[in-house]
């Protein structure tokens, strides 16, 4: 199925000649009716919210609305730049997001390479089924699970206790909170993220292996000279198309695992926007932070697509 | 393929099987442990005695959660949003993907719509503008706030569009010459031939709606409007068992273990996913490939 889609290119022309007895609209109006609901939703929820960024340049008062609130120019941004807390959430976001993205890609590639060496179909699919499972659970569920497992009386500390470790309060210490985020994220996503690399591995021409074997290459040699070059493009693509994720440290995960004690290392842009905007009703400041985040993300996404276009034959559609 | 029989490779293979097996176990162990906790009695869970098997098994926690009025209210909200949300979203997906799968000649304005879709997909105006828009549209505090805003899923539309494009145009040409309208062609040719993609995207959408919790937290008035995952967040993450809404005479938590009540709530919420998962896993994987391999 995947390969059929991979070859999908726009078919230009190729249709039979137009029926000239009817006008374009008489034939084609259903297409416009079909597209209408999607277009309306798209405009309402992807374009209309754009006016909301005006709040970032106001001292927004919900009672007065956007038109009635006082305009303050760049004051909100100036205030943010001088706020130590702002720089803390910026650096937390990048540190957490970069660690998660880099570690996940490395782990997923290794996992795919390892699975690819398994000859037993049954073992392979069992491992896959089991490792995909956490991907389908929300962070409310996983958060509940982790809070219980990582508590001082939890399973992890009981296990470590066997080896004589003191109890560690994983979610209540600034030394351990970020590593916990990274490890639990890998735990959730490694299997699922490996799918794309497994697909790339199965696409490698078996003739290459035969030829290498005849030349006397060991399996390690084949991995080095056939397999790694074979998945290079995929690895590169995933990396550049994921650039936008560098401002996304994982709102769902952090909001369900953090607590005020670990704000120092764990508070990120999205959780701060949520707390200051919707909990404390500081709409303008939260919108300003959101706007900065969106602009950086857009630049990263655009850069990612530009790179993908330049160095591979990737096209969006 | 001839196998490498060197000592180094054989050692690697053994280690490989062990590591992969351990990773697979690690992925499900927390669930097993939590399941055991949900079935164990107060003394065992509070004393930290439960590992992978329930100690003095009891269904007390499950009975308690199932008696909780708020549990059922939120379950109803969840079912409502899953059913309505999935139907609406799939209708929009199929209806938008069909015109987009045509050429510019057949559907004038096709590229404009495609660009609008992609730009919309990649821009994110932020939390507050999103929240304000939903509020200003009058959707706030209604079930529609959870259903309409996410109904247009650009990613699904692009997958669906690619699937439609792959259907041989000869089939459509024949129908067109027979005088079939676009509606008929979509219903009688494109949709029946796209069932694998439709099934996959439907499952993705169901899981999306079942798992969503944040919108339920900020777009609803009170606990009576919250979907299951949002309700669960209060109980499990907020550790607030009062959220269960039990009558005072029932809520004698001294007789229960709070840990196993939380674990039981989690399990009741993931039972549908766990039951369906083995059956539908291949669809999910097919879907992940549909989205990722293209290009």
Tokens read off for B173: 């040409």
Pairs from B213-222 (Cβ < 8 Å, separation ≥ 24): B213/A138, B213/A140, B214/A251, B214/A252, B214/A255, B215/B145, B215/B146, B215/B149, B215/B150, B216/B77, B216/B146, B218/A278, B218/B131, B219/B131, B219/B134, B219/B139, B219/B140, B219/B141, B219/B145, B219/B146, B220/B141, B220/B145, B220/B146, B221/B141
Please name the member of B9, B95, B289 whose beta carbon is closest to the beta carbon of A220.
Answer: B9
- Find out whether A181 and A254 touch, Cβ atoms under 8 Å: yes
Separation of alpha carbons A34 and B94, rounded Å? 9
Backbone Cα Rg of chain A = 25
**DSSP 8-state symbol, A12:** -
Dist CA A44 CA A52 (whole Å): 12
Return mean pLDDT, chain B.
Answer: 88
Weakly modelled stretches of chain B, pLDDT under 70 = 1-3, 247-255, 287-295
User: What is the model's pLDDT at position A203?
Assistant: 87
A287 neighbourhood in chain B, CB within 8 Å:
126, 128-129
Contact with chain B for residue A166, Cβ under 8 A: no
CB B127 within 8 A of CB B118: no
Does A10 score more than 80 pLDDT?
no
Q: Do B236 and A16 make contact, defined as CB atoms within 8 angstroms?
A: no
Distance from CA of A153 to the nearest CA of B (A): 6
Which pLDDT does position B271 carry in this prediction? 87
Contacts of A256 in chain B (CB under 8 A): 233, 237
Distances (CA, A) of A61 to A55, A70, A297, B220, B281: 9, 8, 28, 21, 48
Chain A contacts of B90, Cβ < 8 Å? none
Q: What is the model's pLDDT at position A316?
A: 58
Higher pLDDT, A271 or B260: A271
pLDDT at A38 over 90: yes
Ranges of H-type helices in A194-282: 195-202, 206-214, 219-222, 228-241, 251-257, 263-266, 269-273
ipTM of the complex: 0.89
Chain position carrying tokens 């219903």: B187
Q: What is the pLDDT of residue B67?
A: 86
Q: Which fold has domain B63-295?
A: MetI-like fold (1.10.3720)
Torsion-angle region of B153 (φ positive above 0: left; ψ -120 to 50: alpha; else: beta)? beta
What is the mean predicted confidence (pLDDT) over A111-124?
A: 93
Which residues in chain B have their CB less than 8 angstroms from residue A30's CB?
A: 181-183
Tell me which residue of B135, B274, B146 sits closest to B209, measured CA to CA. Answer: B146
- Nearest CB to A131; choose among B27, B51, B137: B27
Contacts of A296 (CB under 8 A, 6+ apart): A247
Q: What is the pLDDT of residue A1?
A: 38
- Lowest-confidence segment of A15-29, A88-102, A120-134, B12-26 by average pLDDT: A15-29
**Residue A207: burial class (beta carbons within 10 Å; 0-12, 13-18, 19+):** exposed
Q: Find, in chain B, the residue whose alpha carbon is nearest to that of A197.
A: B293
- CA atoms of B105 and A307, how far apart (whole Å): 31
Q: Smallest Cβ distance to B48: which of A32, A158, A244?
A: A158
Cβ of B237 under 8 Å from any chain A Cβ? Answer: yes
Tens digits of residue pLDDT in A93-110? 999 999 999 999 999 999
The single residue listed with the structure tokens 């990613």 is B155
DSSP for A16-80, written as a single string: PPP-TTS-HHHHHHHHHHHHHHHHHHHIIIIIGGGGGGGGGGEE--TTTHHHHSEE-TTHHHHHH
Report how far residue B172's alpha carbon sits from residue A72's, in angstroms, rounded to the nearest whole number.
58
Give phi and psi for B248, each to the nearest 5: -55, -40
Q: Yes or no: say if A89 and A78 are a contact pair by the CB < 8 Å rule.
A: no
Q: Domains in chain A, start-ordered, CATH in brackets? A: 21-73 (no CATH), 81-311 (1.10.3720.10)
Mean pLDDT of chain A: 89
pLDDT for the residue numbered B255: 65
Question: C-alpha distances in angstroms, A67 versus A52, A60, A134, B44, B130?
Answer: 11, 9, 46, 60, 18
pLDDT in tens, B205-233: 999 999 999 999 999 998 889 999 999 99
- Per-residue pLDDT at B2: 54
Q: Structural domain boundaries of chain B?
A: 1-58, 63-295
Mean pLDDT of A39-52: 96
Residue A58 falls in which region: left (phi positive, over 0), alpha (psi -120 to 50) or beta: beta
Per the structure block, which two tokens stand in for B254? 């001294």
- b/e per residue A277-299 (b: at least 16 CB within 10 A): bbeeebbbbbbbbbbbbbebbbe
Asked if A123's CB is within 8 angstroms of B17's CB, the reply is yes
Average pLDDT value for residue range A106-117 = 96
At A83, is the pLDDT very low, low, confident or very high (cuts 50, 70, 90)?
very high
Q: Residue B250 has what pLDDT?
A: 64
| B148 interfacial to chain A (CB closer than 8 Å) | yes
pLDDT digit string, tens, across residues A131-175: 999 999 999 999 999 999 999 888 999 999 999 999 999 999 999
As a whole number of angstroms, the distance between CA A210 and CA A212 comes to 5
Among partner residues B9, B137, B183, which is closest to A44 by beta-carbon distance? B137
Task: Give yes or no for a contact between A120 and B14, defined as CB atoms under 8 angstroms apart.
Answer: no
List the one residue out of B261, B243, B245 whose CA is nearest residue B253: B261
| β-bridge mates for residue A70, sequence order | A59
Q: What is the pLDDT of residue A2?
A: 39
* Residue B281 near chain A (CB below 8 Å): yes
- pLDDT(A313) > 80: no
More confident residue, A19 or B3: B3
State the pLDDT at residue B274.
Answer: 86
Separation of first and last alpha carbons in chain A: 17
Go through A117-128 and write b for each residue having 16 or more CB atoms within 10 A of its CB, e for each that does not: bbeeeeebeebb
DSSP-assigned beta bridge partners for residue A58:
A71
Q: What is the mean pLDDT of residues A285-307?
A: 93
Residue A59 pairs in a beta bridge with A70
Contact A124, A112 (CB under 8 A): no
Give long-range contacts, CB 8 A cutoff, 24+ apart: A1-7.
A1/B196, A1/B286, A1/B289, A1/B290, A2/A199, A2/B286, A2/B289, A2/B290, A2/B293, A3/A203, A3/B293, A4/B166, A5/B162, A5/B163, A5/B166, A5/B290, A5/B293, A5/B294, A6/B293, A6/B294, A6/B295, A7/B166
CB B121 within 8 A of CB A30: no
Minimal Cβ distance to B107: which of A28, A146, A316: A28
Q: Is the pLDDT of residue A35 over 50?
A: yes
**A92: how many CB neighbours lie within 10 A of its CB?**
24
């Amino acid at each position: 199925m995947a390969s059929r889609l991979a070859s999908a290119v726009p078919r230009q022309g190729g249709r039979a000649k137009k029926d000239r007895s009817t006008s374009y609209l008489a034939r084609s109006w259903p297409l416009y009716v079909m597209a209408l609901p999607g277009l309306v939703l798209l405009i309402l929820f992807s374009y209309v919210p754009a006016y909301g960024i005006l709040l970032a340049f106001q001292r927004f008062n919900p009672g007065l609305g956007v038109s009635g609130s006082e305009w303050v120019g760049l004051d909100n941004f100036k205030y943010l730049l001088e706020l130590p807390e702002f720089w803390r959430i910026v650096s937390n976001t990048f540190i957490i997001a970069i660690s998660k993205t880099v570690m996940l890609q490395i782990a997923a590639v290794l996992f795919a390479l390892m699975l690819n060496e398994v000859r037993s179909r049954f073992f392979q699919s069992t491992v896959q089924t089991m490792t995909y499972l956490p991907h389908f659970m929300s962070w409310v569920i996983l958060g509940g699970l982790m809070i219980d497992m990582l508590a001082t009386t939890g399973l992890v500390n009981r296990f470590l206790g066997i080896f004589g470790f003191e109890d560690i309060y994983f979610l209540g210490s600034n030394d351990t909170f970020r590593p916990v985020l990274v490890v639990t994220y890998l735990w959730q996503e490694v299997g699922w993220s490996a799918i794309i690399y497994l697909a790339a591995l199965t696409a490698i021409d078996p003739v290459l292996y035969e030829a290498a074997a005849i030349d006397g290459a060991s399996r390690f040699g084949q991995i080095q000279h056939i397999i790694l070059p074979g998945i290079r493009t995929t690895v590169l693509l995933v990396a550049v198309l994921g650039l936008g994720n560098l401002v996304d440290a994982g709102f769902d995960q952090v909001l369900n695992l953090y607590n005020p004690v670990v704000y120092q290392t764990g508070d990120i842009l999205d959780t701060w926007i949520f707390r200051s905007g919707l909990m404390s009703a500081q709409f303008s400041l939260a919108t300003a932070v959101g706007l900065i985040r969106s602009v950086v993300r857009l630049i990263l996404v655009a850069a990612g697509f530009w790179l993908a276009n330049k160095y591979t034959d990737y096209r969006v559609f | 393929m001839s196998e490498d029989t060197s000592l180094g490779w054989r050692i690697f293979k053994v280690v490989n099987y062990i590591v992969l097996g351990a990773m697979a176990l690690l992925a499900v162990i927390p669930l097993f442990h939590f399941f055991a906790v949900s079935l164990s009695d107060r003394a065992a869970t509070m004393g930290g005695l439960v590992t992978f098997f329930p100690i003095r098994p009891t269904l007390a926690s499950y009975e308690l959660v199932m008696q909780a009025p708020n549990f059922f209210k939120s379950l109803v909200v969840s079912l409502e949003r899953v059913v309505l949300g999935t139907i609406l979203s799939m209708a929009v997906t199929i209806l938008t993907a069909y015109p987009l799968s045509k050429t510019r000649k057949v559907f004038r304005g096709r590229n404009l719509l495609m660009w609008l879709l992609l730009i919309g997909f990649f821009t994110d105006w932020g939390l507050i503008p999103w929240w304000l828009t939903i509020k200003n549209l009058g959707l706030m505090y209604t079930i529609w706030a959870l259903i309409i805003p996410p109904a247009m899923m650009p990613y699904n539309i692009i997958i669906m569009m690619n699937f439609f494009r792959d259907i041989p145009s000869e089939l459509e040409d024949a129908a067109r010459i027979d005088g079939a309208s676009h509606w008929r062609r979509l219903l009688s040719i494109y949709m029946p031939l796209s069932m694998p993609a439709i099934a996959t995207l439907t499952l993705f959408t169901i899981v999306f709606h079942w798992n969503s919790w944040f919108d339920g937290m900020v777009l609803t008035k009170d606990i009576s409007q919250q979907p299951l995952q949002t309700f669960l967040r209060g109980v499990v993450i907020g550790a607030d068992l009062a959220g269960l809404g039990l009558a005072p005479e029932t809520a004698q938590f001294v007789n229960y273990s709070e840990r196993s009540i939380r674990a039981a709530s989690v399990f009741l919420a993931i039972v549908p996913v766990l039951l369906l998962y083995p059956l539908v896993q291949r669809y999910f994987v097919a879907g992940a490939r549909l989205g990722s391999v293209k290009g």
